A and B are shown apart, each in its own frame.
Chain A
Amino acid sequence: MPSINDYLVLSAILFAIGTAGVFVRRNLITILLSIEIMLNAVNLTFVAFGRAFGAPEGQIIVFFVMTVAAAEAAVGLAIVIGLFRHRESLDPDTFTSLKW
């Protein structure tokens, strides 16, 4: 049987992949997808700890994380659509109006 450490290592790898995606990619949609990868890595940690401690809260908080992820995806994609209408681009480096 895999122990909790195996799940935590897997979750750490997925989270690092998501972090790399946010910083390395120059596409707003791929950046949002990388955030989803990070959220899922944390979900895996929650479920693994809930299983280890025998508590249902580990699965309940995943429910809340998914709700927040859905709201974040809806608002984030709406912002992406609005930005694309203004500049015809998805490269975050083109949106520098607020840069000092």
Chain B
Amino acid sequence: MTPNLHLWLIPILPLVGAALNGFFGRRFSRQTVSAIALTFCGASFVMALWVAIQFSSLTLPHYELLAHWIRYGDFMVNFEFYLDQLTLVMLLVVTGVGSLIHVYSVGYMWEEGGYYRFFSYLNLFMFFMLTLVLSGNYLQMFIGWEGVGLASYLLIGFYFTRDSAASAGKKAFIVNRIGDFGFLIAMFLMIKHFGSLNFAEVFSKVAEYPVETAGIGVLTSIALLLMLGACGKSAQIPLYVWLPDAMEGPTPVSALIHAATMVTAGVYMVARSHVIFNHAPTALTVVAIIGTLTALFAATIGIAQTDIKKVLAYSTVSQLGYMFMAAGVAAYSAGIFHLMTHAFFKGLLFLAAGSVIHAVGGEQDMRRMGGLWKYIPWTFWTMTVATFAIAGFPPLAGFFSKDEILWQAFSSEHGSWVYWLIGVITAFITSFYMFRLWFMTFFGEYRGAEASAHAHDAHAHDSHGHDAHGAHGHGEPHESPMMMVVPLAILAVLSFIGGWIGIGGRFEHFLAPVMSSREVSVAAETASHSTETLLMGISILAAVSGFGLAWLLYYRNRDLPQKIAESLGGLYRTVAHKYYIDEIYAALFVKPLVEGSTDILWHGIDQGVIDAAVNDSASGARHLSDGARHMQSGNLRSYAGWVAAGGAVVIAYMIWMGVTR
């Protein structure tokens, strides 16, 4: 008899918090609002921990039915909760990192307007994310999937009075809609072919199918459509464009939603559906290629960005690419491992970046920072840990997970040395742009004061963000309050040691029961141990050389980058403008859509046909009655005349009828 864990409480608790703050928060003080938000989010985390403690005594996968939802013939969807190792990892990451970011937000958002609104949205996000993670079927997962999109939209557009924030929110929402379309169609196909959306039932049906090696069959279609959904949510090529713009939201939001949790939902979904993907090698290859290309592509854009949050945004896209690369070579555990460590160090990077922005009074342009390490030591040291972690220096978290992915990309049966090579190049670029950020922000002299003296000189990116912290004025950079520093410190510790649980494949063995269809063959690993060590050495070398190059260009010889950029000319401009992808999308998709809607649908059909039909029939009726109203002259005798004439007509008709009968 398995105990009832009341898993439904985990998502519901933040929803209660969101409702309390959302409906009554306007009347609460800031202290009350933060207390409510932290209590309910923290309660979720405590419950997740409690589940983790009991975990070993459960029979897995643990399943809890809350209520029936849809019943139509044999087809049935329930509100149900599903717990296995994969869920547990996601659960702890989401509630843990989420709670830390809630704490941080209390400090970060203290001065901002709409305080209760922010925390209400944040709790709402937690509810939907936990629904997504805990769901036992695709439809309930889809609720969470759409819900996090909604929360993301609300939070990106949090400073809705700023036009750029409002349109960034819309962009995120609309681009995600394209992906969700794929997810929906995939679900329809599942209903059609498997008659169920429940994970266990779908996967057992899929297991009966043969592996689709050639052509695009049912499973490949489903897998590709799911991947389309994942591309939207997890910002992969071709749908990654919304994520950099999403940096318009407050920085804690970027950390929680657009780095640590929501954007990893796609990876989680692919890992969850690994049975389908394993039966569709073609789709798996597509996943790997998309992941690899995204990793490289986004990393190169990251080199030329000057907005500190934009660098991190492209870095996130790139790291998500790594996760998909892992999923694409059927090394789902490695992907989830990287997901977890990434949640630690990228969450930390964003929070630390927020702390930096806070310190310099809302400035986001790295060219106006510099020398900050002596002003904000806590932020500096935590960010240093995160930077070294993401760059892949051992023994920090990022090294273990990234190395695992690269090794799997090389050695897995679906892998290839091409993936590995691009992965290593990306690792080098990652290391380079992260240390570029690090050197530009923390070393050299503080350039903020000098820049504000002759303000708004040649800075092309001035119009960006600023998080409404600009009102602070521009004094000496100052360290953030304890509420912000403590989460930074905790995440720094996690970024440091978080990778150690993966040593010796322990993480994979933990997830192995979930990913049962492809057991990591320990024997093969040990056999090629020397190769693995060699590859590990190369990836460390890549990380170190990235550091070295950044040191050379942004510490030692700071005029050099300018010269290189000038000598590269057009190439540099292309990269700095993100390969003009936004412009290309605007010309290819947005403009035809907008113009077609305006000229054909609006002016042509709506105004020309629908409105015209209504207006013309109305004005026709008006003209007709305009003639008829002259009959009402107010003259009594003319009325009498009409009556008499009418009577005469009736009598004449009756006589005529009498005659003809």
Is chain B found bound to chain A in the same assembly? Answer: no
Interface residues of A (CB under 8 A from B): none
Q: Which residues of B contact A (CB under 8 A)?
A: none
